[in-house]
Amino acid sequence: MSRVLSGVGERVGEEVQVERGPLGPAQFWRGQSRYVVGELLDSWVETAPWWRHGATGAGASAELVATREVWRVEAVRAGRSRMSFAGVYDLSWESADNRWSLVRVHD
């Protein structure tokens, strides 16, 4: 089961700080909390839905082909045991905005 972030203190596309390693995210910060990536589970590229950009049908635009890279990682809050407290997170990087976001937490 997974949930898209919403509610108090959590929002869709919550901006996070990410330190990138050779294969993808190595660790990330949510506020003052640091999470260490233990395993890269998957990665893919997504194209933004056309209906979110107010497309007029006048032809392809840069907005319609804008992509974001997404990594699904297993991570644990720094200082905690990976065996007991690991979670699965989807992190995305949007090159157009040069920003990292936490887009999903899997239960």
- pLDDT, tens only, 58-75: 455 555 567 889 999 999
Q: What is the pLDDT of residues 32-56, one digit of tens each?
A: 899 999 999 999 998 866 666 555 5
Residue 85 confidence class, pLDDT cut points 50, 70, 90: confident
Least Cα distance to 16 among 83, 81, 71 occurs for: 71
Rounded average pLDDT over 5-32: 80
DSSP code at position 54? T
> Rounded CA gap, 80 and 93, in Å?
26
Residue 83: phi, psi to the nearest 5? -65, -30
Mean pLDDT value of segment 17-44:
94
Q: Residue 91 carries which DSSP code?
A: E
Length of the chain, please?
A: 107
pLDDT at 63: 55
Average pLDDT over residues 11-28: 89
Confidence of residue 9 (pLDDT cuts 50, 70, 90): very low
Tokens representing residue 57 in the block: 């049908």
